[in-house]
Structure formats: structure tokens, C-alpha cells
């Protein structure tokens, strides 16, 4: 018979080398703490604060016993998000989306694929293949988003995805899935918006670099909030900005735009007062969206006005 955590068939007296019983969900983790309701041993990851002592996740889902809803006593991240079992899920999904678009480009011709011309960030230009003007200024707003997931070169996507895998999980764990998703998308859109504003109208750009720089800026904000040593992330930021301005054929506007938006959104998320946290987070994201929309609107008026 299959066993599930907390089932009667699961041994409750399994003990580690130090004599402590193992957590009922993670038997390899000895723990001296027990749930105040069911008395099962629980490790730090499974502890949910109660009015007295700690409760296990199963008891919390069944009813907190504290006068609050089970959701109110669920473990929370630094920014108030729900603690998830897989703290890399959104990072994996973003990696998968970027990889899927890259594979689609390769499958449709690689260097000769029509996808980049349809999905990259372009202000306004004439497309000889379709004999018409194309670009964001022509109403193709989706380019601001699709360009964030588009890559043509192996080195380009490899560097961006390695950076995402390194920066993403700590931020996802600290912010929670929903807030991390908002941070990533707003950072990428911020990079697209500044590139649309400042780059030549017929200069195409693509890649997740704007979103990655947003995660880098958010990492700096988070480390400052936790009073960690800032030198490593500042050195990394300085190196990346150096490459941005010194290496040829790099859309520095996207990097700077993503960095600014990512740092600003992260600041609002990690410094929000606890009693007004959700309201501040929503307001922060709304202000970022309005700022991005204003930049896009101004540039569109310049190009078509």
C-alpha cells in the first residue's frame, strides 16, 4: 500500500543518529519540535507559527485553531508571498519559455527564420517582405513583450539563462511566485520601453537581458534589505554595466531600463509596511505599468505625430 505523509502506516518513531525523531514529512531531518495539535515531529520548513508553539501544514490546512483562517497562518516569504514547495517553479517556467521560442527559431530556419522579424522589438520601419510599415508605433504592442523571450544566438541565450538560473530562485523564494513573476515581466517591459524610447526607430533588439538586469537590481535591493555584504553584487553589477557600454552591438537602453524598473519594484516589495503590504505591492506594480505606458505613449507620438 502506498503511504502518504502523516498516514497511519508511516513510522512515527524513526530516529536519527542524535536520537531525535524525524520530521513526519521529511524523515531524514531530525527535529525536537512537535505539532501542538497532532503531536507529530516537524522540521523548520514545516513549522507554522500558532498562538502557542507550532503546527504542521496538514493541521493548518484543516483549521488553524487560532481564530484565524488557515491561509492567515500559512508560512510567508519576506515580501508576504506564500511559501511554495518548489521555490524554482517560475524560474523553470521562464527558462522553458525562452528555450521554446529559441527552438522555434531554429526549427523555422535559424538565421533565416521569419520569427525574429515578427517578434523582435522594433519602433517603426518598412518591411519589404510585407510591403508595409511595422513596429510598435504601428500598433504591434506585443513586440514589447515577445522580444523579452526571443534569442537568435546560442551564446546570447546561454548567458541570459545561466543568469536567470542563478538570480531567479533566491528572488522567487524571497518574494513568492506571483511577486517574482510581476518583477520579471515589469523589468523586461521596462527595458523594452526605454529601448523603444531611446534607440533608433528602425533598430531591432531582442533578448531577456532587460529582465535579467531587473533581477540583478532586485538582488541588490534584497541584499541591502537583509543587511548582507553588498560588495559581491555591486562588483557583478559594475562588470555587467561595463560590458553593456563597452561591448559593441548591445542594447544598453534595455539593460538600463530593466535595471531601474527591477530595483524600483523590488524596493516597493521588500520595504512595504507589514500592515499595508499588499496595497503597497499593488500600487508599486501599477505605478511601474503606468510609467512604462507613458514612455511608450510619448515615443509613439514622436514617431507617428
Integer Cα distance of 160 and 140 in angstroms: 25
Report how far residue 214's alpha carbon sits from residue 219's, in angstroms, rounded to the nearest whole number: 9
- 3-class DSSP assignment, residue 291: helix
Helix (H) or strand (E) holding 155: helix 154-175
Task: Give strand ranges (E) for 97-168.
Answer: 125-127, 132-134
DSSP-derived letter for residue 90 is H
CA–CA gap between residue 251 and residue 247 (Å, rounded): 10
* Cell 541584499, located at residue: 223
- Catalytic residue, from 49, 255, 271, 281: name it: 255
Dihedrals φ, ψ of 84, to 5°? Answer: -100, 155
Q: DSSP assignment of 186-215, as one string?
A: HHHHHHHHHHHHHS-TT--B-SSHHHHHHH
State how far the Cα of 125 lies from the Cα of 38, in Å rounded to an integer: 67
* Pair 207, 254: CB distance under 8 Å: yes
Cβ atoms within 10 Å, residue 80: 17
Tell me the C-alpha distance between 261 and 264, whole Å.
5
- DSSP state at residue 41: B
Residue 134's DSSP bridge partners are 125
Q: Is 255 a catalytic residue?
A: yes
Among residues 31, 163, 192, 209, the one annotated as catalytic is 209
Active site residues: 209, 255
Amino acid at each position: 500500500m502506498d503511504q502518504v505523509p502523516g498516514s497511519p502506516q508511516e513510522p512515527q518513531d524513526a530516529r536519527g543518529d542524535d536520537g531525535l525523531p524525524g520530521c513526519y514529512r521529511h524523515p531524514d531531518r531530525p527535529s525536537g519540535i512537535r505539532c501542538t495539535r497532532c503531536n507529530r515531529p516537524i522540521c523548520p520548513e514545516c513549522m507554522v507559527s500558532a498562538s502557542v508553539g507550532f503546527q504542521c501544514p496538514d493541521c493548518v490546512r484543516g483549521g488553524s485553531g487560532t481564530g484565524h483562517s488557515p491561509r492567515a497562518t500559512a508560512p510567508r516569504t519576506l515580501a508576504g508571498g506564500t511559501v511554495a514547495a518548489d521555490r524554482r517553479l517560475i524560474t523553470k517556467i521562464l527558462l522553458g519559455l525562452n528555450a521554446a521560442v529559441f527552438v522555434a527559431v531554429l526549427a523555422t530556419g535559424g538565421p533565416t527564420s521569419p520569427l525574429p522579424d515578427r517578434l523582435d522589438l522594433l519602433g517603426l520601419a518598412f518591411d519589404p517582405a510585407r510591403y508595409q510599415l511595422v513596429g510598435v508605433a504601428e500598433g504591434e504592442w506585443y513586440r514589447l513583450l515577445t522580444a523579452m523571450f526571443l534569442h537568435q544566438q546560442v551564446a546570447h541565450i546561454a548567458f541570459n539563462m545561466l543568469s536567470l538560473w542563478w538570480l531567479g530562485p533566491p528572488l522567487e523564494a524571497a518574494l513568492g511566485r506571483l511577486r517574482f513573476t510581476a518583477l520579471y515581466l515589469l523589468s523586461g517591459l521596462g527595458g523594452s520601453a526605454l529601448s523603444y524610447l531611446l534607440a533608433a526607430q528602425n533598430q531591432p533588439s531582442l533578448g531577456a537581458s532587460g529582465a535579467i538586469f531587473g533581477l540583478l537590481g532586485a538582488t541588490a535591493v534584497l541584499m541591502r534589505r537583509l543587511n548582507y555584504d553588498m560588495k559581491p553584487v555591486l562588483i557583478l553589477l559594475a562588470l555587467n554595466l561595463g560590458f553593456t557600454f563597452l561591448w559593441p552591438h548591445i542594447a544598453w537602453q534595455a539593460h538600463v531600463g530593466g535595471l531601474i524598473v527591477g530595483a524600483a519594484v523590488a524596493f516597493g516589495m521588500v520595504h512595504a509596511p507589514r500592515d499595508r503590504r499588499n496595497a503597497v505591492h499593488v500600487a508599486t506594480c501599477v505605478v511601474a505599468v503606468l510609467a512604462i505606458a507613458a514612455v511608450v505613449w510619448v515615443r509613439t507620438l514622436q514617431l507617428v505625430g
